[in-house]
Structure 1
Amino acid sequence: MPSFLYPRTVAFHRPAGQTKGGRIGYGGQTQANETVVATGIPASIQERKEGIRKPTGLPSDGRQPEWWVFISRPKLANGTLKVGDVMIDDLGNRYQVLAPYWDSLGYRLTCALLEV
C-alpha cells in the first residue's frame, strides 16, 4: 500500500537466462520470458541529477537519466533483488536494476530506464 514516503508501487521481474548455445534467433526481452520476483511493493522513485554517460561518448549526447528507488526494509528481504532485474512501476515504465544496495533502512536501488 503506497504511503507519503513511498507513494509509488513497483514490481520486479528477473529475465530468463539464455541457456542455448550456437546460432539462435533474437528472442528479445519481454515479460513473457521473465520470472516474477515481487509485486505490489511501495517505493519512492527519484531522478538523480548526475545520470549515466551514454556509451557513444559524443559531446552532444548528454547523459542518460539515472534513478534512485527506495524500498522500506519490511517490504523486501536482503538478497531478493539482483543486478539486471527489471522493475516495472505503476505507470508501466520499465527500469533495469544497476546496483541493489541494502542498508538498515532497506533497499536503495540505482536504476536506468529501459527504452524501446
Structure 2
Amino acid sequence: MIYVRRIEIRRIRTVAGANDTIGLTGYSGAEVTADPSNPRGEVVLFTNIPASIQAGTGGRKRDSGLPQDIVSNPTWDIYVPVTALAKGAVRDRDIIIDDEQYRYEVGQAYWNILGYKLPCIRLEA
C-alpha cells in the first residue's frame, strides 16, 4: 500500500476534565466555541500524517432500491502506517481532514501490526 495522501487528526474539545468525579457534574459533551479562528472547538493532535484513503464497501441505497439509485452514507477506509502514529493515538469520533480539505469522522479506530485502519464517514456541511 502506498501512503500518498496527507491527513490532519483533530479531537473535539469538551469541558470534561481529567479528574472529574462520577455523579453530579456539569455537561461534558462537545460545545460550540465563540473563537472565530476555531469555530468547531477542535484540538489539532497530528499534522502531515501519511495515509491512504479508499472508498469503503458500506453505505445504503434509498428505500426504492432501484439499480440507478446512488449509495447514501458511504464509508471511507483511511489507512495509516504503523510508523506514523502510535497505538492509542486515534480514538473513535476523532475528526480527520485530508489534503483536499474533506472532513471525516472516525467510526472505529482499529489498530493492527500494519498500523491503523480507520473506517470513517465523510462529514458534509
Deviation at 1:49, TM superposition (A): 2.6
Please tell me whether residue 27 in structure 1 is matched to residue 58 in structure 2.
Answer: no
How many residue pairs end up in the alignment?
104
Structure 1 segment 14-93 matched on structure 2, within 5 A: 14-18=11-15, 21=27, 27=32, 32=38, 33-51=41-59, 53=60, 59-60=63-64, 62-93=71-102
Q: Which runs of 5+ in 1 are unaligned?
A: none
Normalized per residue, the structure richer in strand is: 1
2:115 aligns to what?
Answer: 106
Question: What SS does the aligned partner of 1:14 have?
Answer: strand
Please give the alpha-carbon distance, in whole angstroms, between the structure 2 residues aligned to 1:38 and 1:73: 14
| 1:16 positional shift | 1.0
Which one of 2, 6, 9 corresponds to residue 5 of structure 1? 2
Normalized per residue, which structure has more helix?
1
The TM-score normalised by the length of structure 1 is 0.78
Q: Which protein has the larger Cα radius of gyration, Structure 1 or Structure 2?
A: 2
- 1:38 maps to amino acid: F
User: Alpha-carbon deviations, 1:80-107, whole Å to 9, x = none?
Assistant: 0001100000000000011010000000
Contact 2:56 2:119 in 1 (8 A): no
TM-score, normalisation: structure 2? 0.73
> CA offsets, 1:38-89, max 9 Å, x none?
00001000001322x48xxx61484311000110001000000001100000
Q: What's the secondary structure of 2:83's corresponding residue?
A: helix
- Cα-Cα RMSD: 2.5
Which consecutive unaligned segments of at least 5 residues does structure 2 have? 17-25, 65-69
